[in-house]
A = this chain, B = another copy of it.
Amino acid sequence: MARRNDHSRDEIREMALAAAEKLVSAQGAKGLSARKVAAAIGYTVGTLYLVFDNLDDLILQINARTLDRLHDRMLEELARHKDPMERLLQLGHTYISFADEETHHWELVFEHRLPEGQQPPEWFREKVARMFSLVETSLEPLATTRSPDEIKQAAAALWSGVHGICILAISKQLDVAGVDSVQDLTHSLMSNYLRGFVGSNR
């Protein structure tokens, strides 16, 4: 058998990504395999390799779409609030909520590892950087006395913190630590850090 031409390259690509996302959201990273994706779209495994370099490439494409959804949510949230402090806090809550709602997708973004020594492509790194920028610009009006470099550092610290809460919450390790509300914890982390950061000059 061979030659079908039912779908264009782009259509196959889109079908494959949709099928893969369905597998991931239902069963997580372990539930994803090239063979299952191929079966789900009615093509042979070989066909996937005409459209993606390999499974890592496919995963990178899924992750790009996840990061886009997350970024959209954060932008919407920023549009909803005017008070600078409120904006920043809501950004944190949006991040946590997203991780909670799309747990498997969120995990795939941050826990997928490329083969030893390989770096994600530039366009992917850009999507991560964009998220940090959002935090930075939201932080600026709250710390007008600080240098751009200090703000960059603070945004990174703040976002690492929120990210860490997400990770530990998802892997259920915060229950162990006796935390009952993840959103309260996030609020505590952000507001205390900000009080420390804004309130003094060293």
In the complex, the answer to whether A160 meets B168 with C-beta atoms within 8 Å is yes
In the complex, the answer to whether A110 meets B177 with C-beta atoms within 8 Å is no
Q: How many copies does the complex hold?
A: 2
Which stretch (A14-22, A45-53, A193-201) binds chain B? Answer: A193-201
Task: For the complex, give the distance between the alpha carbons of A188 and B194 in Å.
Answer: 11
In the complex, the answer to whether B177 meets A156 with C-beta atoms within 8 Å is yes
A185 at the interface (CB under 8 A from B): yes
A28 at the interface (CB under 8 A from B): yes
Instruction: Map CB proximity to B onto A92-113 as digits: 1 under 8 Å, 0 otherwise.
Output: 0000000000000001001101
Q: Which residues of A contact B (CB under 8 A)?
A: 27-30, 107, 110-111, 113, 115-116, 119, 125, 128-129, 132, 152-168, 171-174, 176-179, 184-185, 188-189, 191-197, 199-200
